Amino acid sequence: MSGHMNEETPLLNRRLTSSESQIKNSKLFLAVFSAVLGNFSFGYSLVFSSPVLPQLKSPDADPRLRMDTEKAAWFGSIYSLGAAAGGLGAMLLNDMVGRKLSIMMSAVPSTIGYMLMGGAVDLWMLLVGRFLTGVAGGMTAASIPVYISEISHKGVRGALGSCPQVTAVFGTLALYALSLVVPWRWLAIAGEVPALLMVVLLVFMPSSPRRLLSLGREQQAERALRWLRGSHYDTQIELSAIQHSINTQSRVTWSQLATPVYYRPIIISVVMRFLQQMTGVTPILVYMEPIFAKSKVSLAPKYDAAIVGAVRLFSVAVAASLMDKAGRKALLYTSSMLMFLSTLTLTMISHTTPCPPGPSPPNLTMSLNYSPHNDIGNSLEASSAGLIPLISTMVFIFGYAMGWGPITWLLMSEVLPLVARGVASGLCVTVSWLTAFMLTHAFTHLVDNYGLYVPYLCFTVVCVVCLLFNAVCIPETRGRSLEEIENYFRTGRTFTIRRSQSTAQSR
């Protein structure tokens, strides 16, 4: 029997290789593009408060909409509370109506939210609108990575898995660029466009073949997979692997959650999303222009924000190109170190430099009177020192976008148990955004009471924890199928699925 199996294995491998060589990715890329328009809207709405808050806090703002510190804290943070609610909703919708419909339904709160903010005549309209766009962001954050992982083959899953982060960064950069020339109400109106376009395109895209098979719709699953892979692709091998995965699983029970195959990947995913937020990326993005204003950067804050957005886009593109080459863990190590060095620098700058800067020491002021050259040198030194917060923030965003940004989304969709993926991904997103809400709301008050030093110090410590967590807990999933990754958690330390075990189980 074992000799017979050994003869079959090379034949099966040849069939798999031959089938994979016939894959056409053009329609798969179109389906992914249609879905990640939701992430474009998510990135746009996340940082909406960055250019809007300075205008609403200024004396020239409409008295009905003018904000103080507490109101600004709510406007910045309530998005994260809405995203947590959206994540909870996605926990139910992912398995009730499917991934594709969940993504499409997110356009409803997104459009209503932007309409409220664009036509706001009272503060409650801004807050409710911001909350609703957060709900949409939470829904897409929980559904899109799962949809992409289930329609992609392992040859491109790493690169396509980083697409949600890439398009979210595009959305952020689009907002920063538009805010340079467009009033804030028109920013809200423009935010409705990507969500509506997403709905129109997704109507023509297939549902996840894995979900269709789980519902017993074999013919629809075959048509969906053939559409995604190309007309010459042998769908039966991949469909059989998916069907076998579904057949060997049942609905998870509370007692099963106590076994490593379930609790280990869920805990890893939840902690990853918690640490991702605790690095401080959300408050830095949400309050970027006010932060630069407090840091006394030599450039205007709105231009600083646009520069950081461009750097973020470049770094995510680098991460996407390296995802399936360098591996997940190597990028996470690099990401953690860059974020640690940048937050440590920002901590030291904000601690040693008063904000706003205090008066010059008397002896230095006296020495300036002796020579005009000293005044010029001091001005150049102040100008170069004023760029350090901008450069450090760029390094932080570069590091985050290379690793802890896109890879946590990708790993979440890869390591979560197949049978509980929809619900577990919703749980991860909910934990992530509740953390972001608390951190973003507290950030404004911490800065007002203690300056930027205290939050930056906390972010520095978290980056060290991220480094250790990656070293001890996160597995390398590069080049592994979803079934091999699940086998890793089932067996403890191996990705290899023994063919004899698989055959015995199928019988």
DSSP helix/strand/coil, 230: coil
Nearest Cα to Cα of residue 193 among 41, 31, 34, 33: 41
Q: What is the DSSP string of 9-77?
A: HHHHHHHHHHHHHT---HHHHHHHHHHHHHHHHHHHHHTTHHHHHHHHSSTTS-TTT---HHHHHHHHH
pLDDT tens digits for range 222-264: 888 888 888 777 778 888 888 877 777 666 666 766 677 778 8
**Structure-token pair, residue 305:** 């924000």
Whether the CB-CB separation of 292 and 396 falls below 8 Å is answered with no
In this structure, the number of other CB atoms found within 10 A of the CB of residue 280 comes to 24
Count other C-beta atoms under 10 Å from residue 348's C-beta.
16
CB atoms within 10 A of CB 245: 18
Alpha-carbon distance 502 to 186, whole Å?
Answer: 57
Cβ neighbors of 3 (< 8 A, separation 6 or more) are none
Three-class SS of residue 271? helix
| 410-435 burial: b if 16+ Cβ within 10 Å, else e | bbbbbbbbbbbbbbbbbbbbbbbbbb
Residue ranges of domains in the chain, CATH in brackets: 24-205 (1.20.1250.20), 252-353+383-497 (1.20.1250.20)
Q: Are 264 and 489 spatial neighbours (Cβ–Cβ below 8 Å)?
A: yes
**What is the per-residue pLDDT across 4-15, written as a single tens digit (0 to 9) for each?**
444 444 544 455
Rounded to whole angstroms, the Cα distance separating 232 from 235 reads 9
- What's the token pair of residue 456? 């930056």
Residue in 453, 279, 422 with CA at minimum distance from that of residue 354: 453
Residue burial 77-110, b: 16+ Cβ < 10 Å; e: rest: bbbbbbbbbbbbbbbebbbeebbbebbbbbbebb
In angstroms, how far is CA 190 from the centroid of its own chain? 22
Dihedral sign from CA coordinates of 364, 369, 370, 376: positive
Alpha-carbon Rg for the chain, nearest whole angstrom, is 25
Per-residue pLDDT of the chain (507 residues; tens, 9 = 90+): 444 444 444 544 455 455 555 777 788 899 999 999 999 999 999 889 888 888 888 888 788 888 887 888 898 889 989 988 888 888 778 778 888 899 999 999 999 999 999 988 889 999 999 999 999 998 888 788 888 888 887 777 777 877 887 788 889 889 988 988 888 899 999 999 999 999 999 999 998 888 888 888 888 888 888 888 887 777 788 888 888 777 776 666 667 666 777 788 888 888 988 999 999 988 888 888 788 877 766 677 777 777 877 887 787 777 767 766 777 888 889 999 999 999 999 888 877 654 444 444 444 343 334 344 444 444 444 455 567 888 888 889 888 878 888 788 778 777 877 677 667 776 787 788 889 889 988 888 888 888 888 899 999 999 999 999 988 888 877 767 767 777 777 666 655 555 444 444 444
Contact 132, 109 (CB under 8 A): yes
Report how far residue 33's alpha carbon sits from residue 6's, in angstroms, rounded to the nearest whole number.
Answer: 41
Query: What is the pLDDT, as a whole number, of residue 501?
Result: 46
- The percent of the chain in helix, strand and coil, each rounded to the nearest 5, is 80, 0, 20
In angstroms, the Cα distances linking 293 to 305, 381, 445 are 11, 19, 16
d(C-alpha 44, C-alpha 197), whole Å: 15
- Helix/strand/coil (H, E, C) string of 128-154? HHHHHHHHHHHHHHHHHHHHHHHHCCC
Tokens of 172: 């952020």
Q: Does residue 206 come out as left (phi exceeding 0), alpha (psi in the -120 to 50 range) or beta?
A: beta
Cα–Cα distance for residue pair 87/377, rounded to 1 Å: 53
- Estimate to the nearest angstrom the gap between the alpha carbon of 387 and the chain centroid: 27
Residue 379 burial (C-beta neighbours within 10 Å; 0-12, 13-18, 19+) = exposed
DSSP collapsed to 3 states, 278-296: HCCHHHHHHCHHHHHHHHC
